[in-house]
């Protein structure tokens, strides 16, 4: 695709599509590569193991275009404020492009481009047929009212619509850090008001609530994927041996950073699988219990108080930097908050033997080197947290087909199951328990399809990654990038871009 380079303005918002060559360099953790530089370093390391030409790799690495938007709004004192927002398209080798929208005070163009790039490689790792994109709104969501937030989100969606950077066949955003289902409804509604004749308009965004075209299972999908990938990895004896742990997730001590969407659902699934969640780290404190936190009771506490702080079933530690909790004793560490949390300043002190990257970009290249030397295994972000985009893909398919998964077949399957049970019951040699009967009779629901489709996808992607890592003798991140780059290159070559 040609790099976009347009500039235009309208009365209430301004939009600029920046040619990527104008991007600035932004700093990250002091003395370390920025997030974008890290993603590119990981890409380069893997790219060197492919037989693709340097020119093609350079093109594949670059971010195709970035839309920059300025959104005005009036704060609670009536003063005019401006919010900067972005939408980056890393690769349109497949369309639509896909990726969440982050809302945070630390959003910048460089971070958005890094996240968009990760989306390209992530979709390829799990065979989701999308290109990579990401959005960012530079705003601390807790500083605005709901009405102000709605206006900002709708303005953002309006600008994307007018720039042709949203639509079921163009670009399909979703939630990321700081955004959620309600924001997705405002986006869908804004898009639909301009494209009201588009029968597929619901597919312009995923992560919507069920009543507004969402799918059962998207809310928990990223955390559930983080669980599936960890559970399957822990079954691979040869791989587990490298960590020094015993096979199986059961009984393992887990630390989770971030109790938002991804962190809370990861906690739920690991706890359900009989792991001990011993520490949960939030921005200003961490919560610990050596015997494992009761995650069900913790959820109730969160729902009542709006925070996990002072949960009576654990000790809340507020003194000092909460990231110190990453260094607590555990088997598995699941960073599920921000990028660059595991860096040169703390990598030496990490006790975990397995790190499952639920967040995007939580480990810097410098930290990774230290951890690898210590024998720590890292299941990388582009594989570990892909569950969100996988179930987003299912939501998009649901929106385009205009029917809930299982609606046409469930009753039919149940009748056939009942006939089978009847036939089996007539055989004296067969003794079916009530649970077995129920399992045979029950037709698959939408949740069953979403969850089993996600499970299958994560198992296949982990298998492919482990195979490549063994074949090339490289770590899992490099292997996942090699697989992703190879898959994207096939599509690039087949389409034979006329601009090459
Ligand atoms: N949502 C999704 O489907 C996907 C998300 N991801 C990635 O997962 C990560 C988390 O996203 P998500 O759960 O959606 O975001 P949320 O906004 O739902 O939650 C983020 C959580 O992290 C906490 N947090 C913020 N800063 C810190 C910090 N410095 N130390 C500890 N905790 C902190 C937040 O606390 P507070 O509320 O105080 O800010 C919040 O509890 C991000 O990296 C995101 O890109 C990846 C794939 C899909
Ligand atoms: O669900 C999606 O489409 C995107 C999720 C996302 O932003 C991510 O995986 O980082």
- The model's pLDDT over 324-342, given as tens digits with 9 standing for 90+, comes to 999 999 999 999 999 999 9
Domain CATH for 322: 3.40.50.720
99 lines ligand 2 (CB under 6 A): yes
- Residue that is last in its domain, among 214, 244, 278: 214
> Do 336 and 282 sit in the same domain of this protein?
yes
**pLDDT tens digits along 344-393:** 999 999 999 999 999 999 999 999 999 999 999 999 999 999 999 999 99
15 in any annotated domain: yes
For residues 249 and 377, membership in a common domain is answered with yes
Query: Is there an atom of ligand 2 within 6 Å of 117 CB?
Result: no
Task: Look at strands 276-281 and 171-175 and give their pairing.
Answer: unpaired
Residue 123 Cα to chain centre, angstroms: 10
Ligand 2 centroid distance, CA of 176 (Å): 6
**Which residues span the domain enclosing 104?**
6-25+41-48+61-214
Mean pLDDT of 97-112: 98
Q: Is the pLDDT of residue 3 over 60?
A: no
Q: Considering the chain, what percentage of its residues have pLDDT values greater than 70? A: 93
> How many Å separate Cα 70 from the centre of its chain?
26
The confidence score (pLDDT) of residue 428 equals 86
Looking at the fold, whether 270 and 186 belong to one and the same domain comes out as no
Cα-flanking dihedrals φ and ψ of residue 42, to 5°? -65, -40
ipTM surpassing 0.85, yes or no?
A: yes
CA of 385 to the centre of ligand 2 (A): 8
Coil vs helix vs strand at 337: coil
Among residues 183, 214, 245, the one where a domain terminates is 214
Q: Which CATH number does the domain housing residue 68 bear?
A: 3.40.50.10860
Q: Are 347 and 357 in contact (CB under 8 A)?
A: no
201 and 326 in a single domain? The answer is no
User: If you average pLDDT over residues 277-281, what whole number do you get?
Assistant: 98
CB-CB contact of 67 with 15 (8 Å):
yes
Picking from 166, 193, 214, the residue at the C-terminal end of a domain is 214
Reply yes or no on whether the pLDDT at 14 is more than 70: no
Number of domains, the chain: 2
**pLDDT band with cut points at 50, 70 and 90 for residue 500:** low
- Closest residue (by CA) to atom 10 of ligand 1? 337
Same domain, 375 and 312: yes
Mutate-to-test residue for ligand 2 from 392, 395, 458, highest number of ligand atoms within 8 A of CB: 392
Nearest ligand, CA of residue 259? 1
Is residue 416 in some structural domain?
no
Q: 64: part of which helix (H) or strand (E)?
A: none
Question: pLDDT class for 25, splitting at 50, 70, 90?
Answer: very low
* 120 domain residue, yes or no: yes
Which residue do the tokens 């890393």 mark?
A: 90
Task: Look at residue 482 and tell me whether its pLDDT is greater than 80.
Answer: yes
Give the ligand 2 atom nearest the CA of 221: 1
pLDDT tens-digit profile of 114-125? 999 999 999 999
pLDDT, tens digit, for every residue of 417-427?
A: 999 999 999 99
The single residue of 3, 61, 79, 134 carrying the catalytic annotation is: 134
Instruction: Tell me how far apart the alpha carbons of residues 62 and 93 are, in angstroms, rounded to a whole number.
Output: 12
Let me know if residue 54 belongs to a domain: no
- Distance CA(174)–CA(184), nearest Å, equals 7
User: 32 lies in a domain?
Assistant: no
In this structure, the answer to whether residues 238 and 382 fall within a common structural domain is yes
* Span from the CA of 19 to the centroid of ligand 1 (angstroms): 30
Residue 285's CB: how many other CB atoms inside 10 A?
Answer: 18
Pocket test for ligand 1, best of 260, 302, 316 (most atoms within 8 A of CB): 260
- Cα 120 to Cα 92, 220, 361, 366, 400, distances in angstroms: 9, 22, 14, 23, 22
Question: Does 275 share its domain with 194?
Answer: no
Q: What is the pLDDT of residue 198?
A: 95
Q: Which ligand is nearest to the CA of 173?
A: 2
188-206 pLDDT tens trace = 999 999 999 999 999 999 9
Mean pLDDT of 31-53: 97
Residue nearest to atom 2 of ligand 1 (CA): 176
* Same domain for 204 and 272: no
Cα 463 to averaged position of ligand 2 atoms, centre (Å): 21
Ligand lying closest to the C-alpha of residue 225:
1
- Which residues does the annotation place in the binding site for NAD(+)? 222, 261
Residues 6+ apart with CB under 8 A from 220: 265, 268, 269
How open is the CA angle 270-272-275, to the nearest 5 degrees? 50
Ligand showing the shortest atom-to-Cα distance for residue 255: 1
3-state secondary structure of 173: strand
Whether residue 221 is found in the same domain as residue 336: yes
Residue 304 bears catalytic tag: no
Q: What is the mean pLDDT of residues 298-316?
A: 98
Q: Which of 384, 393, 439 is nearest to 414 (CA)?
A: 439
Give the tens place of pLDDT for each residue, 216-268.
999 999 999 999 999 999 999 999 999 999 999 999 999 999 999 999 999 99
Indicate whether 53 belongs to any domain: no
Backbone angles phi, psi at 217, to 5 degrees: 105, -10
Residue 439 lies in a domain: no
Average pLDDT of the residues in 462-478: 98
What average pLDDT does range 32-40 have in this prediction?
97
Do 126 and 457 form a contact (C-beta atoms < 8 A)? yes
Per-residue DSSP letter, 2: P
Distance 213 CA to ligand 2 centre (A): 17
> What is the whole-number distance in angstroms between the Cα of residue 262 and the centre of ligand 1?
7
What is residue 499's predicted lDDT score, i.e. its pLDDT?
65
Ligand 2 pocket, 395 CB below 6 A? no
pLDDT grade for 477, boundaries at 50, 70 and 90: very high
- How many helices (H) and strands (E) are present in the chain, helices listed first? 16, 14
User: 131: Cβ below 6 Å to ligand 2?
Assistant: no
Alpha carbon 413 to chain centroid, angstroms: 33
Residues 82 and 131 in one domain: yes
pLDDT above 80 for 20 = no
pLDDT given for residue 495 in this prediction? 83
Angle at 45 between CA 349 and CA 48, to 5 degrees: 160
Nearest-atom index, ligand 2, CA of 388: 1
Mutation to probe ligand 2, out of 222, 260, 261, 266 (largest number of atoms < 8 A from CB):
222
Co-location of 227 and 353 in the same domain: yes
Same-domain pairing of 120 and 261: no
Give the confidence band of 31 by pLDDT, cuts at 50, 70, 90.
confident
Percentage of the chain lying above the pLDDT 90 cut: 91
**Per the domain annotation, does 205 fall within a domain?**
yes
């Amino acid at each position: 695709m040609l790099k976009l380079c347009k500039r235009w303005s309208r009365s209430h918002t301004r939009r600029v599509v920046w040619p990527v060559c104008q991007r600035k360099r932004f700093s990250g953790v002091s003395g370390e590569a920025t997030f974008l530089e890290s993603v590119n370093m990981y890409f380069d390391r893997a790219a060197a193991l492919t037989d693709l030409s340097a020119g093609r790799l350079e093109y594949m690495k670059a971010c195709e275009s970035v839309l920059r938007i300025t959104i005005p709004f009036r704060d609670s004192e009536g003063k005019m404020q401006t919010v900067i927002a972005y939408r980056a398209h890393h690769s349109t080798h497949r369309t639509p492009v896909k990726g969440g929208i982050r809302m945070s005070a630390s959003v910048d163009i460089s971070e958005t481009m890094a996240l968009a790039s990760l989306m390209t490689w992530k979709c390829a790792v799990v065979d989701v047929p999308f290109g990579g994109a990401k959005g960012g709104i530079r705003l601390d969501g807790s500083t605005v009212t709901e009405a102000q937030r709605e206006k900002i989100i709708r303005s953002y969606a309006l600008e994307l619509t007018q720039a042709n950077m949203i639509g079921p066949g163009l670009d399909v955003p979703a939630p990321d850090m700081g955004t959620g289902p309600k924001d997705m409804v405002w986006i869908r509604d804004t898009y639909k008001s301009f494209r009201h004749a588009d029968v597929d308009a619901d597919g312009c965004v995923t992560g919507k609530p069920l009543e507004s075209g969402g799918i059962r299972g998207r809310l928990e999908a990223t955390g559930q994927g983080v669980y599936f990938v960890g559970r399957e990895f822990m079954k691979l004896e040869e791989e587990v041996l490298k960590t020094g742990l015993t096979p199986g997730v059961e009984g393992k001590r887990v630390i989770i950073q971030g109790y938002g969407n991804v962190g809370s659902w990861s906690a739920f699934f690991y706890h359900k699988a009989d792991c001990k969640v011993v520490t949960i780290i939030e921005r200003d404190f961490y919560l610990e219990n050596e015997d494992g936190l009761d995650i069900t009771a913790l959820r109730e506490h969160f729902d009542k108080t709006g925070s996990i702080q002072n949960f009576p079933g654990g000790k809340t530690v507020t003194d000092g930097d909460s990231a110190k909790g990453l260094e607590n004793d555990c088997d598995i560490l699941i960073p599920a908050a921000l990028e660059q949390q595991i860096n040169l300043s703390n990598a030496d002190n990490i006790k975990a033997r397995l790190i499952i990257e639920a967040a995007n970009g939580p480990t810097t290249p410098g930290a990774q080197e230290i951890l690898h030397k210590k024998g720590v295994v890292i299941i990388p972000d582009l594989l570990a947290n892909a569950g969100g985009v996988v179930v987003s893909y299912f939501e998009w398919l649901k929106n385009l087909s205009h029917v809930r998964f299982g609606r046409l077949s469930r009753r039919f399957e149940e009748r056939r199951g009942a006939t089978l049970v009847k036939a089996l019951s007539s055989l004296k040699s067969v003794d079916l328990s009530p649970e077995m009967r129920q399992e045979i009779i029950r037709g698959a629901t939408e949740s069953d399809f979403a969850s089993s489709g996600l499970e299958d996808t994560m198992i296949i992607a982990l298998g492919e990654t482990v195979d490549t890592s063994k074949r090339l003798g490289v770590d899992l991140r490099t292997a996942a990038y090699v697989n992703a780059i190879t898959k994207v290159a096939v599509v690039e070559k087949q389409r034979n871009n006329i601009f090459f």
